A and B are shown apart, each in its own frame.
Chain A
């Protein structure tokens, strides 16, 4: 045997070893499918930022058992079709361990079934519509449902402002605003409030004055507006210019600094519930806010707080399991470890709660978290006491 062949043999012997160690040293790949362009990007971009900040921090502290987390970020553009494509790409080509996102509930309804069929975790951090986690046992979310937040919001609005009648305006062609409306209506009925009138608008409308003029004539005590912040700001401004003085009560869509920025004084007195409170003095929250400001130069919002916490929740779960290198079994063991995970983060105490599911079919896990109720005062979200 000459030197050349022995060298070759040695190489051949070492090669699998080399690959083996490479496979083990490979980063933990986590997919992020969020709307980075299009109208929903005002939510998707802060969400991505939250993930990236958390990943930086976790990796700086040695990752998961010494292995860094690698985020594979894809733009799903806030569209169902795109969300499906991105989910398939992340799951089957990039072979990620699990996927965060998509941004909108609409898209989660489209992409979620892929995760449940292929047995990996689909983790929404911004989906609040009912029924998301009914899709199957692999669907998780850290965003409390509107049906958890709205009754708390309404209860404190009623006790503070002594309102008895309400007018409603909402978008009737969007899954998010429509489901917000249903939740509000049910909650209003449960709390024996009178619905003076209901008006609707469609996506892309900019003129709400005819509807508001109609509501104004009914003299309700408050206006309920389960809208996104862009329409919400506009509705407030137009209501004020018509001379309406009622306070607004909103859902998750109002949780954006954009609302105050756009509506200005018109937003004063608006009441909204949110899982995150920016002025929460807890060390976790204060650390998050200053780290976010340092990295991105802008203040974070609720959506970045939720995604930041979500990656820590997954990291906690990963810290309790040993990854084998076999993708399918690793995906399964992450799925099994997640429900037991609790976390104290920027949004406060967090735990999962099994979803009811429909027809006793296995379902996923919802967020078990109490919301904060704010009122807008002097251009700031202030905690309602």
Chain B
């Protein structure tokens, strides 16, 4: 049972990590808590579902296409909602409220288009391979999700540390005004970041849809709570922290069930969050901003 619970913890943690990755990226660069990330996550899952079921596309096309659509949705939200607020120099509460509104809109839209009930990807869309040691089972899907989220994290960290764009993003995180004076195209990079973050959110949505078979207009809500918890555990705005926070949250949930009782699952993991805020308000890695990449 132990080994199985460890497998459960890692595969749950990697989905949280992937969701938290995009969420923390937007905060690090734009300095905005984008509460529409859950809605984008849900639409990522639905667009690839629509491509797979309505146009019978294979998953290897539907997956990047779903990410692309989610990315465009994020870009749209940035242009329509976040940019006007930036231009107005609105205080940090405004984008939060505005993105809650965007989430409600996206949820109702999804409900209108796809209906309120749970849907799933067709069975056997993903190869149904299983590996087994004794009582412990590991599916190819679980491995792929973990590998993919670690890979995407590595790409993000590399991009932030080693590329010119990453340098520019870190500069913006340090000071928006100075970066603009130095000739960094701040607006364009904001759009870029929103796009990337949303694409990551969309990827998380597709992977959750694949592994838990539950795509619904409301799937973003609880994921958003978990994502925020992961990000705070790891340190707001820190990419490595978000991923670590995701794994930490996944493990704490699974082991709360194993050692205590499933009644205390959320109480335990959110209690942990509370302790973390008392002990290290900046999170495991947090320095507050993306400065350190």
Interface, chain A (partner B; CB < 8 A): 37-42, 172, 199-202, 204-207, 209-211, 213-214, 216-217, 229-230, 233-234, 237-238, 241-243, 258, 262, 264-265
B213 to chain A, nearest CB (A): 5
Quick check: B12 and A207 within 8 Å, CB to CB?
yes
Quick check: A237 and B253 within 8 Å, CB to CB?
no
* Assembled-state Cα–Cα distance A206/B41 (Å): 15
Instruction: From known contacts A204-B222, A210-B262, A211-B262, infer whether A39 and B213 are also in contact, taking CB-CB under 8 Å.
Output: no
Q: 16 more A-B contacts (CB under 8 A) besides A41-B116, A172-B263, A209-B254?
A: A37-B111, A38-B116, A42-B115, A42-B116, A201-B262, A204-B221, A205-B222, A207-B8, A210-B8, A213-B4, A216-B1, A230-B118, A233-B118, A242-B4, A243-B135, A243-B137
Quick check: B213 and A262 within 8 Å, CB to CB?
yes
Quick check: B1 and A230 within 8 Å, CB to CB?
no
Q: Which residues from chain A contact B208 at a C-beta distance below 8 Å?
A: 206
Instruction: Give a binary string over B130-166; 1 marks a CB under 8 Å from any A CB, 0 the rest.
Output: 1010010101000000000000000000000000000
Answer whether residue B23 sits at the interface, using C-beta atoms and an 8 A cutoff: no
Answer whether residue B123 sits at the interface, using C-beta atoms and an 8 A cutoff: yes
Instruction: From known contacts A42-B117, A237-B213, infer whether A206 and B219 are also in contact, taking CB-CB under 8 Å.
Output: yes
Closest to B250 in A: A207
Q: Which residues from chain B contact A204 at a C-beta distance below 8 Å?
A: 218-219, 221-222
* Assembled-state Cα–Cα distance A229/B117 (Å): 9
Closest to B4 in A: A213
Quick check: B1 and A213 within 8 Å, CB to CB?
yes
A206 touches which of B4, B111, B212, B258 (Cβ 8 Å) = B212
Closest to A199 in B: B262
Q: Which residues from chain A contact B108 at a C-beta distance below 8 Å?
A: 37
* Assembled-state Cα–Cα distance A213/B9 (Å): 12
Answer whether residue B48 sits at the interface, using C-beta atoms and an 8 A cutoff: no
Closest to B9 in A: A210
Answer whether residue B5 sits at the interface, using C-beta atoms and an 8 A cutoff: yes
Quick check: A207 and B1 within 8 Å, CB to CB?
no
B257 touches which of A206, A210, A216, A241 (Cβ 8 Å) = A210
Quick check: A209 and B123 within 8 Å, CB to CB?
no
Q: List, sorted by A's number, 25 A–B pairs whose CB atoms are closer than 8 Å.
A: A38-B116, A41-B116, A200-B261, A202-B266, A204-B218, A204-B222, A206-B208, A206-B212, A207-B12, A210-B265, A213-B4, A213-B5, A214-B257, A214-B262, A216-B1, A229-B118, A230-B118, A233-B213, A234-B213, A241-B130, A242-B137, A243-B132, A258-B118, A264-B123, A265-B123
Closest to A256 in B: B117
Q: Which residues from chain A contact B216 at a C-beta distance below 8 Å?
A: 39, 230
Answer whether residue B120 sits at the interface, using C-beta atoms and an 8 A cutoff: yes
Q: Which residues from chain A contact B135 at a C-beta distance below 8 Å?
A: 243
* Assembled-state Cα–Cα distance A267/B281 (Å): 46
* Assembled-state Cα–Cα distance A207/B115 (Å): 22
Instruction: Give a binary string over B203-246; 1 marks a CB under 8 Å from any A CB, 0 the rest.
Output: 00000100011101011011000000000000000000000000
Q: For chain A, what secondary structure do more than half of its interface residues adopt (helix, strand, loop), or is it mixed?
A: helix
B8 touches which of A209, A237, A258 (Cβ 8 Å) = A209
B139 touches which of A216, A229, A241 (Cβ 8 Å) = A241
B31 to chain A, nearest CB (A): 29
Quick check: A200 and B263 within 8 Å, CB to CB?
yes
Quick check: A234 and B214 within 8 Å, CB to CB?
yes
A250 to chain B, nearest CB (A): 16
4 cross-chain pairs, A with B, having the tightest CB-CB distances, nearest first: A204-B222, A210-B257, A230-B118, A206-B212
A230 touches which of B4, B214, B222, B263 (Cβ 8 Å) = B214
Q: Which residues from chain B contact A199 at a C-beta distance below 8 Å?
A: 257, 261-262
Q: Which residues from chain A contact B253 at a C-beta distance below 8 Å?
A: 207, 210
Quick check: A200 and B262 within 8 Å, CB to CB?
yes
261-275 of chain B: CB within 8 A of chain A: 261-263, 265-266
Q: Which residues from chain B contact A39 at a C-beta distance below 8 Å?
A: 116-117, 216, 218
* Assembled-state Cα–Cα distance A262/B208 (Å): 15
Instruction: Give a binary string over B95-129; 1 marks a CB under 8 Å from any A CB, 0 the rest.
Output: 00000000000001001000111111001000000
Q: Which residues from chain B contact A38 at a C-beta distance below 8 Å?
A: 111, 116
* Assembled-state Cα–Cα distance A214/B5 (Å): 9
Quick check: B116 and A211 within 8 Å, CB to CB?
no
* Assembled-state Cα–Cα distance A211/B12 (Å): 13
Q: Which residues from chain A contact B222 at a C-beta distance below 8 Å?
A: 204-206
Instruction: From known contacts A172-B263, A258-B117, A265-B123, infer whether A211 and B257 are also in contact, taking CB-CB under 8 Å.
Output: yes
Instruction: From known contacts A202-B266, A213-B8, infer whether A207 and B212 are also in contact, taking CB-CB under 8 Å.
Output: yes
* Assembled-state Cα–Cα distance A49/B213 (Å): 28
B108 to chain A, nearest CB (A): 8
Quick check: A241 and B118 within 8 Å, CB to CB?
no
Closest to B256 in A: A210
B272 to chain A, nearest CB (A): 16
Q: Which residues from chain B contact A42 at a C-beta distance below 8 Å?
A: 115-117
Q: Which residues from chain A contact B261 at a C-beta distance below 8 Å?
A: 199-200
* Assembled-state Cα–Cα distance A214/B254 (Å): 10
Instruction: Give a binary string over B26-54; 1 marks a CB under 8 Å from any A CB, 0 the rest.
Output: 00000000000000000000000000000
* Assembled-state Cα–Cα distance A38/B115 (Å): 9
* Assembled-state Cα–Cα distance A297/B169 (Å): 54
Quick check: A241 and B221 within 8 Å, CB to CB?
no
Closest to A36 in B: B116
* Assembled-state Cα–Cα distance A237/B210 (Å): 12
A46 to chain B, nearest CB (A): 11
Closest to A265 in B: B123
Closest to B257 in A: A210
B61 to chain A, nearest CB (A): 24
* Assembled-state Cα–Cα distance A201/B263 (Å): 7
B64 to chain A, nearest CB (A): 23
* Assembled-state Cα–Cα distance A112/B216 (Å): 30
Closest to A169 in B: B262
A234 touches which of B9, B116, B212, B262 (Cβ 8 Å) = B212
* Assembled-state Cα–Cα distance A234/B209 (Å): 11
